[in-house]
Amino acid sequence: MSAPPLEISHVTMRFGGLKALVDFSLTMQPGELVGLIGPNGAGKTTAFNAVTGVYTPTEGDVLVAGERVNGLRPHDICVKGVARTFQNIRLFRQLTALDNVRIACHAGATSGFFDSLFLTARHRREEAHILRRAEEYLAVMGLAHRRDEISRNLPYGEQRRLEIARALATGPKVLCLDEPAAGMNAAEKLELLALIRSIRDRFGIAILVIEHDMRVVMGVSERMLVLDHGITIAHGKPEEIRRNPKVIEAYLGDAYLEEKHIAVPVEGQAR
Amino acid sequence: MSSARAVFRSVLPFLVGAPILALLQPVMPADYAIILVSVGVNVVLATSLNVVNGFTGQFSLGHAGFMAVGAYTAAKITVGLSGVQLILLPEAVSNQLVFAIALLAAMITAAIAGVLVGMPSLRLRGDYLAIVTLGFGEIIRSVIENMKFLGQATGLSGLPARTNLVWVGMSAIATVVMARRLAVSTQGRALFAIREDEVAAEAMGVDTTGFKVRAFVISAAYAGLAGALISHAILLATPRMFTFIRSIEVVVMVVLGGLGSITGSVISAIVLTISLEALREFQAYRMVVYAALLIALMLLRPQGLFGTRELWDLPLFRRLTRNRLAAAGPAGASPAEVRDDSTGPKGVA
Amino acid sequence: MTEFLQHLVNGLSVGTIYALVALGYTMVYGVLKLINFAHGDVYMVGAFSGYWLAELVGVRSPYGADPPGAGETFIKASLVTLGAMVICGLLGFVIERFAYRPLRQRPRLTSLITAIGVSFLLEYGFQLRPIIRSPIEFPPGPSPRVFPALIAREPLEVLGVSLSNYDIYGFLIAILLMLGLQYIVYRTRFGTAMRAVSFDPQVAGLMGIPVNRIITWTFVLGSALAAAAGIINAVSRPKIEPLFGLISGIKAFVAAVLGGIGSVPGAMVGGIVLGLAEEYVAGYTDSSYRDAIAFTVLILVLLVRPAGIFGRFTVEKV
Instruction: Report the residue of chain A nearest B326, measured CA to CA.
Output: A127
Where do runs of H (alpha helix) occur along B122-259? 126-146, 165-183, 186-196, 198-203, 208-234, 244-257
CB C126 within 8 Å of CB C44: yes
Is 50 exceeded by the pLDDT of residue B348? no
Nearest CA distance, A32 vs chain C (angstrom): 26
Query: Whole-angstrom Cα distance, residue B151 to residue C54?
Result: 43
- Please, what is the Cα angle at B80 between B78 and B82, to 5 degrees? 60
Residue A87 resides in a domain: no
**Considering the domain C2-132+150-304, what is its CATH architecture?**
Orthogonal Bundle (1.10)
Q: Which among A212-216, B35-39, B224-228 has the top mean pLDDT? A: B224-228
ipTM: 0.87
pLDDT band at B338 (very low <50, low <70, confident <90, very high): very low
Nearest to A167 by CA among A87, A100, A212, A74: A100
**Host H or E run for residue A223:** strand A223-228
Tell me, what's the pLDDT at B325? 40
Mean pLDDT of C18-32: 90
CB within 8 Å: A116 and B210? no
Dihedrals phi, psi of A61, to nearest 5 degrees: -130, 150
Do A193 and A269 lie in one domain? The reply is yes
CB within 8 Å: B199 and C121? no
What number of C-beta contacts closer than 8 Å exist between B and C?
A: 106
- Tell me whether C318 touches chain A (CB under 8 Å): yes
CB within 8 Å: A73 and B328? no
Task: Report the share of chain B in percent with pLDDT over 90.
Answer: 37
Query: Whole-angstrom Cα distance, residue B341 to residue C70?
Result: 82
CB within 8 Å: B342 and A149? yes
Nearest CA distance, B245 vs chain A (angstrom): 31
B-interface mutation test, from C108, C109, C278, most B Cβ less than 10 A away? C109
More confident residue, A124 or B190: B190
Is 60 exceeded by the pLDDT of residue A249? yes
CB within 8 Å: A113 and B335? no
Chain centre to alpha carbon of residue A31:
14
Residue A200 resides in a domain: yes
Do A26 and A156 lie in one domain? The reply is no
Tens digit of each residue's pLDDT (9 = 90 or more) over B287-307: 788 888 888 988 888 888 887
Nearest CA distance, B337 vs chain C (angstrom): 24
Tens digit of each residue's pLDDT (9 = 90 or more) over A30-73: 999 999 998 887 889 899 999 999 999 999 999 999 899 998 99
Query: Whole-angstrom Cα distance, residue B100 to residue B83?
Result: 16
pLDDT band at A185 (very low <50, low <70, confident <90, very high): confident
Mean pLDDT of B16-33: 78
Nearest CA distance, A84 vs chain B (angstrom): 7
Q: Is the dihedral of CA C254, C256, C260, C266 positive or negative?
A: positive
Q: Which chains touch C (3 or more CB pairs under 8 A)?
A: A, B
Instruction: Report the residue of chain B nearest A51, measured CA to CA.
Output: B203
CB C23 within 8 Å of CB C268: yes
pLDDT band at B335 (very low <50, low <70, confident <90, very high): very low
Whole-structure pTM over 0.80, yes or no? yes
pLDDT band at B242 (very low <50, low <70, confident <90, very high): very high
Task: Report the share of chain A in percent with pLDDT over 70.
Answer: 91
B-interface mutation test, from C28, C116, C243, most B Cβ less than 10 A away? C116
Interface of A with C (CB under 8 A): 45, 49, 54, 86
Nearest CA distance, B153 vs chain C (angstrom): 11
Instruction: Report the residue of chain A nearest B195, measured CA to CA.
Output: A92
**Host H or E run for residue A175:** strand A174-178
Tell me, what's the pLDDT at C40? 93
More confident residue, B163 or B90: B163
Nearest to A117 among B181, B210, B325 (CB): B181
Mean pLDDT of A113-136: 85
Nearest CA distance, A56 vs chain C (angstrom): 14
Nearest to B139 among C110, C127, C296 (CB): C296
Do A179 and A53 lie in one domain? The reply is yes
pLDDT band at A271 (very low <50, low <70, confident <90, very high): very low
Tell me, what's the pLDDT at A109? 66
Task: Report the share of chain C in percent with pLDDT over 90.
Answer: 27
- Tell me whether C1 touches chain A (CB under 8 Å): no
Look at chain A and report how many structural domains it folds into: 2
More confident residue, B92 or A197: A197
Tell me, what's the pLDDT at B6? 67
Instruction: Tell me how far CA of residue C140 lies from CA of B104, C49, C130, C184, C238, in angstroms.
Output: 46, 11, 6, 35, 15
Tell me, what's the pLDDT at C63? 62
User: What CATH number is given to the structural domain containing A211?
Assistant: 3.40.50.300
From chain B residues 81-120, the ones with a CB under 8 A of any chain C CB are 120
Nearest CA distance, C263 vs chain A (angstrom): 21
Mean pLDDT of A20-27: 92
pLDDT band at B336 (very low <50, low <70, confident <90, very high): very low
**Strands of C121-237, DSSP E:** 145-146, 155-158, 161-164
Nearest CA distance, B341 vs chain C (angstrom): 31
Nearest CA distance, A122 vs chain C (angstrom): 36
Query: Whole-angstrom Cα distance, residue C294 to residue C270?
Result: 11
- CA-atom Rg of chain A in angstroms: 20
Mean pLDDT of B206-234: 93
Q: Which chains touch A (3 or more CB pairs under 8 A)?
A: B, C
Mean pLDDT of C25-53: 90
Task: Report the share of chain A in percent with pLDDT over 90.
Answer: 55
pLDDT band at A134 (very low <50, low <70, confident <90, very high): very high
Instruction: Report the residue of chain B nearest C308, measured CA to CA.
Output: B128
Nearest CA distance, C226 vs chain B (angstrom): 21
Instruction: Report the residue of chain B nearest C104, measured CA to CA.
Output: B299
Determine how β-strand A174-178 pairs with β-strand A82-84.
parallel
Chain B residue numbers with beta carbons less than 8 Å from the beta carbon of C102 are 299
CB within 8 Å: B298 and C118? no
Nearest CA distance, A25 vs chain C (angstrom): 22
Q: Which of B64-78, B94-108, B134-148, C289-303 has the lowest mean pLDDT?
A: C289-303
CB within 8 Å: C118 and B131? no
Mean pLDDT of A130-153: 92
Nearest to C302 among B128, B251, B291 (CB): B128
Q: In one letter, which amino acid is B213?
A: V
CB within 8 Å: C117 and B291? yes
Chain A residue numbers with beta carbons less than 8 Å from the beta carbon of B203 are 52, 54, 74-75, 78, 83-84, 86, 90
Domain spans in chain C, listed from the N-terminal domain onward:
2-132+150-304
Q: In one letter, which amino acid is C99?
A: A
CB within 8 Å: C289 and B131? no
Query: Whole-angstrom Cα distance, residue C294 to residue A27?
Result: 52
Tell me, what's the pLDDT at B151? 83
User: Mean pLDDT of all residues in chain B?
Assistant: 82
Q: Which among B97-101, B313-317, B318-322 has the top mean pLDDT? A: B97-101
Nearest to C298 among B120, B135, B284 (CB): B135
Tens digit of each residue's pLDDT (9 = 90 or more) over A192-237: 889 999 999 999 999 999 988 888 888 889 999 999 888 999 899 9
Is 90 exceeded by the pLDDT of residue B222? yes
CB within 8 Å: A92 and B196? yes
Instruction: Report the residue of chain C nearest B301, measured CA to CA.
Output: C110
DSSP-derived letter for residue A145 is G
Nearest CA distance, C316 vs chain A (angstrom): 10
Tell me, what's the pLDDT at C66? 63
Tell me, what's the pLDDT at B309? 73
Instruction: Report the residue of chain B nearest A167, measured CA to CA.
Output: B204
Chain C residue numbers with beta carbons less than 8 Å from the beta carbon of B256 are none
- Tell me whether B124 touches chain C (CB under 8 Å): yes
CB A126 within 8 Å of CB A112: yes
B-interface mutation test, from C25, C26, C95, C121, most B Cβ less than 10 A away? C121
Tell me, what's the pLDDT at C65? 63
Tell me, what's the pLDDT at B337? 29
Tell me, what's the pLDDT at C97? 93
CB A168 within 8 Å of CB A83: yes
Mean pLDDT of C198-202: 85
b/e code B273-292 from CB counts within 10 Å (16+ = b) = beebeeeeeeebebbbbbbb
Peptide bond into B120 cis (omega under 30): no
Instruction: Report the residue of chain C nearest B127, measured CA to CA.
Output: C35
User: Domain containing A67: what range?
Assistant: 1-81+172-271
More confident residue, C111 or C288: C111
Instruction: Report the residue of chain C nearest A50, measured CA to CA.
Output: C318
Chain A residue numbers with beta carbons less than 8 Å from the beta carbon of B1 are 124
- Tell me whether B135 touches chain C (CB under 8 Å): yes
Do A163 and A184 lie in one domain? The reply is no
Domain spans in chain B, listed from the N-terminal domain onward:
29-335
A-interface mutation test, from B202, B204, B322, most A Cβ less than 10 A away? B204
CB within 8 Å: C299 and B135? yes
Instruction: Report the residue of chain A nearest B187, measured CA to CA.
Output: A113
Do A155 and A74 lie in one domain? The reply is no
Query: At which of A114, A141, A169 does a domain end?
Result: A169
Nearest to C245 by CA among C222, C261, C227: C227
More confident residue, A251 or C250: C250
